[in-house]
Chain A
Amino acid sequence: MNITLLIILCALVTFIPRVIPAIFMERLNFSPKFEKFLNLIPYTALAALICPGVLTVDPNLWYIGLIGAVIAGGLAWKKVPLGAIVILTVIVLVAVYLIVPFFPVLI
Chain B
Amino acid sequence: MHGLRLGIPITFGYIPMGIGYAALAIKAGLTPFETVSMSVLIYAGAGQIMIATMLAQGATLFNIVLTSFVLNFRYFVMNTCIYNKVDDASLAVRIPSSHLAVDEAFAMFMLMEESSIWTYIGLAGIAWISWIFGAIIGVIVLNVLPIIVANSFNISLYALFVALLVPAVKESKELAILVVITAILNVVLQFFIGNWSLIIAILLGALIGMYIVDDDTVLGDAYKTADENCSNKEVQQ
Contacts and interface: CB of A to CB of B under 8 A. Distances in A.
Contacts of A107: none
B5 interface: no
B84 A83 contact: no
Interface string B74-88: 111101101110001
Contacts of B129: none
Contacts of A6: 51, 55, 61, 64-65
A54 B158 contact: yes
A3 to B, nearest CB: 5
Interface residues of B, number: 100
B159 A69 contact: yes
Interface string A80-102: 01110111011101100110000
A45 B50 contact: yes
Decide if the interface of chain A is mainly helix, strand, loop or mixed: helix
Contacts of A97: 148, 151-152
A98 B148 contact: yes
Interface string A54-66: 1001100000110
Contacts of B159: 68-69, 71-72, 85-86, 89-90
Nearest to A27: B84
4 smallest beta-carbon distances between A and B, as pairs: A44-B205, A51-B183, A76-B166, A22-B98
Interface of A: 1-11, 13-15, 17-23, 25-28, 30, 32-33, 35-54, 57-58, 64-65, 68-69, 71-73, 75-77, 79, 81-83, 85-87, 89-91, 93-94, 97-98
